[in-house]
Chain A
Amino acid sequence: MIDLDLIPLRPGFPVGSATSLTVLVRLSADASALPPEGPRPGLNIALVLDRSGSMSGRPLSEAKRCAKAIVERLGASDRLAVVAYDNTAETVFPSMPVRDRDLIKSSIDRIAPGGTTALHDGWHLGATQVARHLKAEDVSRVLLLSDGIANHGLRDPDQIASHCADLAASGITTSTYGLGLNFNEDLMSRMAQQGQGQAHYGQTAEDLMEPFQTEFDMLAALVARKVRLSLSGSPGCHIHLLNHEQRDAAGRIILPDLARAGDIWLLLQIDIAEASPEPANGGKIRVLSAELAFETIDGDSRNTGPFHLDLDPMTPAAHAAQSENVTVRARLTEIEAARLQERARVAAQGRDWETVDLLISEAEALAGQNEWVRSSMATLRGYAARREVRMFSKEARYKSQTMRSRMVARFEDSGFDRASEAQAPRYLRRKLEQGRRSSDED
């Protein structure tokens, strides 16, 4: 029920010299094999809200509005816990099936602003609530909201992120929601990345609702979870992952969950020594083999493969003359643009605006026909021109992470217009500014 394609940037295998190939691994749900849209997996969610002093006023009231909207999206077969944290973490509502929505909402209404930000304590208590009722067939996730830096309790970003990774291996994932200018985007995005959840941020309290809706739309449309990929190169072929570098204890590559109408993807660079593999298989050269493991939403474990990439041998000149695959080029462009944005982000933090401008120009030139990447760079240039370091840093961080790991709409092309994006499910929409709601991007 999952199709796996191995697509080289150019067809053919250049023989006779050391070379490097770019290959896209693309996974998509086979629509004909999917059951009609119906029940989704049960959700076991802990919503962890920052109620430190800086959340006082509009941010906290908007966070509570989002929390109550989440309550409305859950049913009696889902569980929800609500945790709030400042200097300490408190269980506002213990993990229970969502039967009495009014009771949960009235508990949320009573959350009041407090002191500092014990972010890890909040995450830990939320995760404990989820873990007490862990079932393999449910989607078990901690949703952590923060507008500040972790300044109380455990603060070491490496340790916090490793805790998220450790718990994800036991089936509890972590998504993070940053709010405003002062949260630590490195910590929050790493928690989500290593916690195998999603990373979102909102520039203002009003920008918070859309990311929550996006996450729940995706959870409702899941078709495969716990997607793991094993790759093996032929002798002399060395595989480098250009995104999704995280691996599980068995050494398999951890890929994101797959939802309807979307593709998840991994880009590889394969370095090949001068003595290339011998042709076989009807004269073709086998470069790569892949095997896939995943769980359906019913909790069934599936293994598929092996899938092979076999290429026709040709001279290096003939290979260089082949046309590029536009999908592989688009993904490669986005990964390279993501790298440039990360470098620009470091330069911006050092107030080196000249380098920032050069890197943005480089990314714009690289974008070529990719209108989304080009327009995205224009928004970053605006932050650079206004010397808005914190906003530049956050936008560049989340934009680059999106470009490296986003789920792609099956029939997406290089064009970009907001009207078309609005027709796609939220989790497949491309945004020009990751921290602003789509209706506000004009």
Chain B
Amino acid sequence: MTSDLARLKGWEGGIDALIATTTALLTRIEVERGELNLRTVRDYLQRGLLGSTERRGKELHFGYEHILRLAAVRVLLADGWSLAKIAEFLRLSGLSDIESLLPSPKSDALAKLDRMRRESSPHARDVVASSAPVSAAQRVARASALNLELREAMRRLGLPEGAPPVEDLTLVAIAPWFQILIQRDRLPDLTLEDAEELGRAVTASLTHLITRTGYRK
């Protein structure tokens, strides 16, 4: 347990104090993604993420375990977990598990990793902060990278760049609404590597349709 947590043992307070104390803890360990506010915490309470609570008078009353759970939710959200997955995880975890989940105060290694993430491609930033708001510049960078991938995939397959080619042939129904046509005489020679490469090309093609032709609602 870190000294930050040790100091909070025995802590008690109302919901505003819970938010303030947890925010301060998250700031010290530098895991924060957006403002932690009353509405968000009430949502977590309704979902059962913070465990059971008691009332003192009209006010909800919280303790050390609530701080731990609230901080753990924010850490796991920063990892890209959904609230449903976090709820399942917390249900299976004891207090000491949740304590050990919370990071130590920021290290030199974490600072380096932050710098690497900033210096890397837009993809890397998107992965780690997948649900953070995306700026117009980031959207442009992402679309540009996807477009590059589309062209590379097309070139590797020996196809003209630009738009997905169409042939009328054997139909493979991946889903009722998603079907693929393949030249029948190519099927016997297809390898697993070919299949993987085709998969990338399909992803890139669909992405092109979504991002460039306005099919998205």
Contacts and interface: CB of A to CB of B under 8 A. Distances in A.
Contacts of B109: 127, 130-131, 134, 167, 170-172
Sorted nearest first, the 4 A-B pairs with minimum C-beta distance are: A132-B103, A153-B123, A131-B109, A170-B109
A116 interface: yes
A133 B104 CA distance: 6
B9 to A, nearest CB: 19
A115 B200 contact: yes
Interface string B112-143: 11001100110110111010000000000000
Given A53-B195, A54-B192, A115-B200, A124 B117 contact: yes
B196 A52 contact: yes
Given A96-B101, A115-B200, A125-B128, A54 B108 contact: no
Interface residues of B, number: 36
Contacts of A151: 200
Interface of B: 75-76, 79-81, 92, 96-97, 100-101, 103-104, 107-110, 112-113, 116-117, 120-121, 123-124, 126-128, 130, 149, 192-193, 195-196, 199-200, 203
Contacts of A91: 76, 79-81
Interface stretch (A97-105, A192-200, A236-244, A253-261): A97-105
Contacts of B112: 166-167, 170
Contacts of A99: 96-97
B103 A133 contact: yes
A90 B76 CA distance: 11
B107 A131 contact: yes
The range of chain A's interface size is 35 or more
Nearest to B102: A132
A132 B109 CA distance: 8
Given A54-B193, A115-B203, A118-B123, A167 B113 contact: yes
B103 A88 contact: no
A134 B104 contact: yes
Given A94-B76, A125-B127, A125-B128, A170 B107 contact: yes
24 contacts: A52-B196, A53-B195, A54-B192, A90-B80, A94-B76, A96-B101, A116-B200, A118-B127, A120-B124, A121-B128, A124-B124, A125-B128, A131-B107, A133-B103, A134-B104, A135-B104, A148-B196, A152-B123, A153-B120, A153-B123, A153-B124, A163-B116, A170-B108, A172-B109
Contacts of A95: 101
A103 B113 CA distance: 28
Interface string A159-184: 10001001100111000000000100
Nearest to B119: A159
Contacts of B92: 100, 103
B110 A94 contact: no
Contacts of A153: 120-121, 123-124, 127
Contacts of B103: 132-133
A261 B205 CA distance: 56
Given A53-B195, A153-B127, A120 B120 contact: yes
A128 B200 contact: no
B120 A154 contact: yes
Interface in A114-149: 115-116, 118, 120-121, 124-125, 127-128, 130-135, 148
Nearest to B76: A94
Contacts of B130: 88
Contact of B196 (A54, A100, A120, A135): A54
Nearest to A90: B80
A240 B101 CA distance: 47
A89 interface: yes
Given A91-B80, A121-B128, 9 more contacts: A53-B199, A91-B79, A103-B92, A120-B124, A121-B127, A124-B124, A133-B104, A134-B110, A170-B108
Contacts of B104: 132-135
A74 to B, nearest CB: 14
Given A88-B127, A153-B127, A154-B123, A124 B110 contact: no
A233 B34 CA distance: 57
Q: Which residue, B103, B124, B127, has most C-beta atoms of chain A within 10 A?
A: B127
Contacts of A52: 196
Contacts of B97: 96-97, 99-100
A88 B125 CA distance: 11
Contacts of A125: 79, 127-128
Given A54-B196, A96-B101, A154-B121, A134 B107 contact: yes
A153 B130 CA distance: 14
A131 B106 CA distance: 8
A172 B192 CA distance: 35
